[in-house]
Every structure is written in C-alpha cells, then in structure tokens.
C-alpha cells in the first residue's frame, strides 16, 4: 500500500529542514529582484543590471550538471555540503562588495553553489519522499515561498530605503547557514554508509566535473558570460557578435540537454522545454517590470516590491490548488495547459500598461494570474519528470529540468539587455515575452505524459 501521508515521524525532520532552506532562498530571490536596481546603482553602474541578476544563472548551469552527475554517482550528501558552502561564500561577498565586479563575483559563486544544491534537493526529495505524496511535497516546497514572496519584496524594499541593501544579504547569509546545517543533520547517513559513500565520492568527483556534460556546462556558462558582455556595447559589430554567440549557445544546449528537447520529441523532452520557456517568460516579466517601474515611472523600491509580492502570492495559490488535485498524467496535462495560459496574462498586461498607461492595479491582478499559473505548473512538471525517470537517473533528469530553465532565462535576459542597450524599448521587450508565452501554450497542448498517456 502506497504511503498517503506526507508528514510522518521519519519524514518531518527532512521536510522541515528543506522548507527552512527554501524559505531563505526564496527571500533572497524576491529581495534581489526588488533591490537590484538600488544595489547596482550604489555600486557604480546601472548598465550592469542584467548581468548582475543573471550571473547566478550563468554559473548555476555548471552547478546543476556537476551536482546531478555527482549525486547519481556518489550520493547527494557531499555535493550538498560543497554546494552550500560555495553559496554561502557568494552571499558573504554580496554583503561585503565595494564595487560591481566584487558583487558580480559573489553572484557567480552564489549561482555555482545554489545550482548544485537545487538539483540535490530534488534528488533528496526523490529518495526521502514516496512517489504517491511527492506532488504534495513539491507543492509544499513551492508554498514555502509564500511568506517570503508576500513579505520579502516589501521588507527588502523597506530595508533598502531605511537601512542598506547589504542588510538583506546579511539576513540570507545567517538563515541559509543555519538551515543548511539542519538539513545536513537530517540526512546524515550511518557511520558505515558515510565511509563507503565518501570513498565513492572521491573516485567519482573528477569524473563528474570533467565528463562530457560538465565540459559542455562550462562552455555554456562561458558563452552566456560573453553574450552578456557583448550586449553591454552598442557598437556596430554588437549585433553580429550577439548573433554568433547565441548560435553557439544554441548548439551547446542541443548537446547538453536530452536529445529531442528542441524538437519536442518525447515526454521528458517536452517537460524540459516547457519549464525553460515558462521560467524565462515569468522571470523576465518580473525582472524588467521592476526596472521599468523604478527607472522610468519613478516608483520607490517598496512599491515595485509590492507588485512582485502579488505575483509571488499567486504562485503560492497555484501550488495550493494543484496540491489538491490527483497525481495522474491526465491531471498533470490539464493543469499545466491551464497554467501556461495564465502565465501569458502577465507580459500581455504589462505591455498594455506601458503603451496605454492603464492603472498599476491592472498589472497587479495580471501578476497574480501569472504567479498562479507558475505555481500550478512547476510542481506538476517536476512530479511528472521524476515519475518518468529511473531511480539512477533522477539526478540527471532534475539537472536537465533546471539546466534548461537556467539557459532559457539566461539567453532571454541577455538578448533583452542587448535590445535595451542598443536603443530598444520596453514595449519591444514585452512583445518578445508574449511570443514566449504563446510558445509555452503550444508546447503544453502537445501533451506532457508518456506516449501511452497522451490519448
């Protein structure tokens, strides 16, 4: 008989530790979106806004690939510890940064460690939580973003106005350090298993880093960095460089992601592609809305934070709604299709707001709808992907899901940065994002289950 209860005597320490860690990760995520314009301007150059945000995405590619391979070969504990330490070091540099380069280095380290641990958390969930209740766990994981999503942007904005933006990273540093320690304690193996696993980890670490996917991940991260740096210039050759680097990145992604991802052949491939498109659409919608409201409309960080908080509240609502539906392929397909259409309301309404100056509350409502769509889709995509994976490939599938999303966000934000630097407008940006949202709806309509389940 399959387990129907998520919280048990055996699982609650693990669940509580994961939720605590995700709470501080969520707070950092929403806080950065709100305070980044202030932080980058304070450090010297608002032109580095896009790269300062996406630096974590760039190095997260390496962390996700290495973390997934490492976990499959040697278990999740050691990569969790190493990734967490690198993440904390990066956040510490964010606190101490005295100029933009140091701040970006901290963001790069934060992405490397966070990318590793993001994959490891999925592997740990697959190993500690029975399949029958995994949708509830993923929904709970998404709901852990509720308080940070509602209070985080506003609190971060208020801290930036009344204190200093560095204090926000200080809170993340302390909370994440304590949560990571608790999670390591909750997942500690027996002495014999730890000794065996450590020996295996030492043998497998080099293979995980220098393997084919590890090399491709490093190449992709380098290409993303070049794409951002080239996009900072509006010279005559910029378009050629951006186009060439984008093509090279596309070819790298085709080799890095499972075969058929770009042609949507196979259920796992569609899941990976759909998550990438949805993640890029929602992230860029919020990221450039925050910049637009503060830099063009003159709203303070707290007001911009309130808009982001509304979207995040919708995300938690969507997670709660999907958690009450059955974990079946049919339910997955229906919920994800509805969710993708909700996501499209976000960029569409922002575009109308920019062009016609409709009230800001209209954008808030659309942000709630977009967040609801994301909160509904993400747990279902994760649960369906893990159900399709063999036990020995859970790290690889989790890595592909998050790698595809990170590459999608990285490419889209880099291209948008290049458009804005070259004289493009915010309306052009949101036309691009509406196109992405439409593509997501098309992918979702193709079905996301096993071939036998798509009838």
Domain interval for residue 200? 12-453
Confidence band for 65, pLDDT divided at 50, 70 and 90: confident
1 in a domain, yes or no?
no
Query: 264: pLDDT confidence band, cut at 50, 70 and 90?
Result: confident
149-176 pLDDT, tens digit each: 677 677 777 777 777 788 888 888 888 8
1 pLDDT exceeds 50? no
Q: What is the pLDDT, as a whole number, of residue 208?
A: 44
Residue 213 placed within a domain? yes
Residue 419 counted as domain residue: yes
Q: Single out the residue of 315, 363, 365 nearest to residue 148, CA to CA.
A: 315
pLDDT above 70: percentage of residues in the chain: 78
In a domain, 5, yes or no: no
User: Is residue 2 in a domain?
Assistant: no
7 in any annotated domain = no
Q: Is residue 6 part of a domain?
A: no
CATH of the domain at 445: 1.20.1250.20
Q: Are residues 221 and 62 in contact, defined by beta-carbon separation less than 8 angstroms?
A: yes
Number of domains in the chain: 1
Rounded Cα gap, residues 117 and 75, in angstroms: 13
Q: Average per-residue pLDDT in the chain?
A: 76
Q: CA-to-CA distance for 98 and 110, rounded, in angstroms?
A: 17
Cβ(34)–Cβ(160) below 8 Å: yes
**φ and ψ at 266, to 5 degrees?**
105, 145
pLDDT above 70: residue 272: yes
Q: Considering only CA atoms, give the Rg of the chain.
A: 21
Mean pLDDT across 381-385:
77
Least confident among 304-318, 386-400, 410-424 = 386-400
Residue at 4 is within a domain: no
User: pTM here?
Assistant: 0.68
Band of pLDDT at residue 378, cut at 50, 70 and 90: confident
């Amino acid at each position: 008989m399959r387990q129907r209860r998520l919280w048990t005597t055996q699982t609650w320490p693990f669940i509580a530790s994961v939720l605590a860690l995700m709470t501080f990760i969520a707070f950092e995520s929403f806080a950065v979106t709100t305070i980044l314009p202030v932080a980058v301007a304070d450090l010297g150059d608002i032109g580095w806004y896009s790269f300062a945000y996406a630096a974590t995405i760039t190095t997260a590619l390496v962390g996700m690939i290495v973390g997934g391979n490492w976990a499959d070969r040697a278990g999740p504990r050691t990569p969790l510890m190493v990734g967490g330490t690198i993440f904390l070091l990066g956040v510490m540099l964010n606190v101490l940064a005295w100029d933009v380069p140091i701040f970006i280095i901290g963001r790069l380290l934060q992405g490397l460690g966070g990318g590793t641990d993001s994959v490891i958390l999925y592997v740990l969930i697959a190993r500690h939580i029975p399949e029958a209740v995994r949708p509830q766990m993923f929904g709970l994981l998404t709901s852990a973003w509720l308080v940070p999503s509602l209070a985080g942007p506003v609190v971060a904005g208020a801290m930036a106005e009344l204190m200093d933006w560095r204090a926000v990273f200080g809170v993340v540093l302390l909370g994440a350090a304590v949560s990571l320690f608790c999670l390591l304690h909750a997942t500690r193996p027996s002495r014999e298993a730890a000794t065996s696993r450590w020996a295996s980890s030492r043998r497998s670490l080099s293979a995980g880093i220098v393997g084919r996917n590890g090399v491709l991940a490093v190449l992709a991260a380098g290409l993303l960095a070049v794409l951002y740096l080239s996009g900072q210039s509006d010279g005559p050759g910029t378009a050629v460089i951006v186009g060439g680097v984008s093509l090279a990145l596309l070819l790298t992604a085709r080799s890095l992601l499972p075969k058929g991802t770009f042609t949507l052949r196979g259920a796992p491939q569609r899941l990976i592609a759909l998550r990438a498109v949805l993640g890029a659409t929602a992230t860029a919608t919020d990221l450039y809305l925050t910049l637009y409201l503060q830099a063009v409309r003159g709203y303070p960080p707290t007001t911009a934070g309130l808009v982001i908080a509304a979207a995040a509240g919708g995300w938690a609502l969507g997670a709660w709604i999907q958690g009450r539906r059955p974990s079946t392929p049919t339910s997955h397909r229906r919920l994800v299709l509805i969710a993708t259409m909700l996501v499209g309301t976000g960029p569409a309404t922002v575009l109308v707001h920019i062009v016609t100056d409709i009230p800001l509350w209209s954008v808030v409502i659309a942000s709630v709808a977009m967040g609801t769509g994301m909160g509904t889709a993400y747990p279902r995509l994760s649960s369906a992907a893990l159900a399709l994976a063999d036990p020995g490939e859970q790290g690889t599938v989790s890595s592909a899901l998050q790698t595809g999303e990170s590459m999608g966000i990285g490419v889209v934000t880099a291209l948008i940065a290049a458009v804005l630097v070259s004289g493009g407008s915010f309306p052009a940006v949101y036309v691009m994002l509406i196109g992405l949202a439409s593509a997501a709806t098309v992918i979702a309509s193709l079905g996301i289950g096993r071939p036998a389940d798509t009838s």
